[in-house]
Structures are given as C-alpha cells and as structure tokens.
Structure 1
Amino acid sequence: MGVDDGLLITLKRVAATLKQAEIPFALGGSFAVYAHGGHSGDHDVDFLLCEEDVERALEALVATGFRAERPPEDWLVKVYDEDRMVDLIHHPLDTPVTEETLADTVPRVVDAIVMPCLTATQLMIHKLLSFTEHYCDFTRGLPLARSLREQIDWDRVRKETAQSPYAEAFLLLLERLEVVA
C-alpha cells in the first residue's frame, strides 16, 4: 500500500494526543490493516473509542489544532487536520465500543509509534458485517482477506458473522478462490 504521508502524520498526531489525554482507543480501518502488514486503501483514519470518551477526545484534539465536526450520523464524530479526515467511531455496526472491544487489540508499531490496533480477525468481522443490501462491495474485502489470511481466526469470523447472508456469501467466495480452507 502506498501510504499517504499526510494521513500518516495525522494518524500519529491523533494517537499521541489520545495517549497524552489517557483516552483508551484502538486504530481501526485501513491503517489498522496496514499496521498488520496488509494491503488496504486509505482516504481517512479510523479510531475506535468508547462513547463516554468522545467529548474529552474532541476537547484534546481541538486544543492541539484539529477542527471538529459532528455529522448527522450518530455513530461517530470527525476531526480534521487541514483537509485530512479522522473518524472517531464509538458505535461501529450499531454496536457500542466497550472496554472489551478495546481489549481485543494488539500493539503495533505505526511509523515509530506503538498503538493498540484491532486484531486482523476483528477487522475481517467488521468488514463482513458492513456488507448489506445497500452496500456489498466484495472487492473492498478481498485485499484484506488475502493479505491478512494467516492472522485471521476464520472459525471466529464464521461464528461472529453467521447471521449475515452477505458474510456467508463472501466466505464461500474466499473458499472457492482458495484464499481460505
């Protein structure tokens, strides 16, 4: 993945600010895939945090020069570093971020800063559960599955996505393409 240097600097600024403010977080999205050594595109940075920490996070980030935005979606807030967007997600997939969510992470070095990242398994679960009748672009999940397949607990993925026919179809595709057994 050719990483956007500006977004990488922004990611580091947000992580450092959250660490200094002692706000628990996890790196998610495409940069977490990158942190695991996988391939993924990048257009923004995603951090997960508990809803009760959102206001403190916004205050700390605004104090360091970020611009805050509260979009109509009620599951995240955004901050901007110039034109670079960061999503602070507190309810991914209609599920609140909890201490348990933030514990299901692994430390990864991202451009010389150690930070908690969602596990490859959790990233795959989030990707599969994002597929719906309104959005079902398997081309977004294939690079993730291929590049991180050895790090993913596929039995857990199957169990935690069993309710989704879209996840079931994607997993069948991965089997047919011999990405997973």
Structure 2
Amino acid sequence: MTNGVDVGLLKTLKRVAATLKLADVPFVLGGSFAVYAHGGHSGDHDVDFLIRERDVDGALEALVAAGFTAERPPEDWLVKVYDEHGHMVDLIHRPIETPVTDETLSGGVIRPVDAIQMPCLSATNLMVHKLLSYSQHYCDFARGLPLARSLREQIDWDQVRKETAASPYAEAFLVLLDRLEVVPQKEPSS
C-alpha cells in the first residue's frame, strides 16, 4: 500500500489502460481510482473502466492477448478481466443502467494516474453515478460521504441535483450533505 492505494492493483490499472490505448479502445477510468486520480479519498478493491458496448469484444481480445483472463459474468452490464495475481478489473458498458456513449467518453478529464495520463470520469459524474447507484437494495451513504467531502469543490452540485432529481435516495443524500454542512442545499426558486 502506498498512500492508501494497493500498489499491485495500481500496476494492473496501468497495464489495462496502456493495453486499451494501444488497441485504440476508448475508455474513461471510473470508480474509486478515478476519485483517487482527482485527489479524493477512495477505497480500492477493484478497478473500473467505462467503455462502449461495441468495444467490449475488442477490449477483451486485446487484454487476453496481454495476459489477462476474461470473464463474462451473468450481469449484462459489464465484463471482467483478471491479471496473473488475481487483481480484478471491471469493464463497464452500462453503468447505472445507462449505456456508455461517445459523450460519456468525451466528458472525461485527463488526469495522471501514477505517471500515466488517462481520461477519468469527472468529479461531477462520479457523484452522479454514486447517487444513482443507491436503491432499496443498496443505500450505503457511508461510502458516498468521503467522495462528496474530498471532491466537493470539483463537483457541479447543480448538475448533480438535476441529473439525480428522480431518485429519492439521492435527494436524501443531498439533504444529509446539507445538514452536515458539506454542501449547502440549493435554495428554492421564488
């Protein structure tokens, strides 16, 4: 572990990013390592890359050729690869039930991740994805609080509110952030 980050998993992330770049598979880094790339607090049990569904086969082909083992799990929104040490990488093509599009990929922010420049989900999109992942089956606000606190200045909170307006779980989380004085609640329009 270096600075709270699993060095082995970080090396795996770099190998996957380099392989995808060489194979001309567009991607953005998501999840906890994107939070890390933005300078935020994150946990790291796996690596998440977002790719378009049409690029899944090409990505798997390139990664298998580079020594990874591929898996197509029953969930139909991602595929997985593992390196020789068992480090897992998720290649997600439909996060929060929304397909990854050219717009998703072009909205990435270039950040250095252990000396490799790569596109990462913006802090705003990371927060939107976290809030839209909350449901009656999963609603662990304790995992969203460090993200909100550590990246709050980089997040467009008006955009987060707009994109998560239909979710009562997101609304509750935003009220919690207001009550904790992390982010002020938007004042109602007169």
Q: TM-score, normalised by structure 2?
A: 0.95
> Unaligned regions of 5+ residues in structure 1, if any?
none
Measured against aligned partners, the alpha-carbon deviations of 1:45-94 in whole angstroms (never above 9, x if no partner) come to: 00000000000000000000000000000000000012100000000011
- Counterpart for residue 137 of structure 1: 140
1:27 partner SS: strand
In 1, distance between residues paired with 2:171 and 2:96?
17
1:123 partner SS: helix
Structure 1 residue runs of 4 or more that deviate by more than 3 Å after TM superposition: none
In 2, distance between residues paired with 1:149 and 1:94?
25
Following TM superposition, by how much is the alpha carbon of 1:144 offset from its aligned partner in structure 2, in angstroms? 0.1
- Counterpart for residue 120 of structure 2: 117
Residue type at the aligned position of 2:64: V
- Counterpart for residue 106 of structure 1: 109
Measured against aligned partners, the alpha-carbon deviations of 1:126-170 in whole angstroms (never above 9, x if no partner) come to: 000000000000000000000000000000000000000000000
In 1, distance between residues paired with 2:80 and 2:135?
24
Structure 1 or 2, whichever has the larger Rg, is 2
Decide which of 35, 38, 44 is 1:36's aligned counterpart: 38
Q: TM-score, normalised by structure 1?
A: 0.99
In 2, distance between residues paired with 1:103 and 1:151?
18
Decide which of 150, 155, 158 is 2:158's aligned counterpart: 155
What is the root-mean-square deviation of aligned Cα atoms in Å?
Answer: 0.5
**Identity of paired residues, percent?**
79
Decide which of 8, 11, 15 is 2:10's aligned counterpart: 8
1:141 partner SS: helix
Following TM superposition, by how much is the alpha carbon of 1:104 offset from its aligned partner in structure 2, in angstroms? 1.1
**1:62 lines up with 2:64 in the alignment:** yes
2:117 partner SS: strand
> Unaligned regions of 5+ residues in structure 2, if any?
185-190
Residue type at the aligned position of 2:126: L
Residue type at the aligned position of 2:107: D
2:174 partner SS: helix
Measured against aligned partners, the alpha-carbon deviations of 1:35-54 in whole angstroms (never above 9, x if no partner) come to: 00000100000000000000
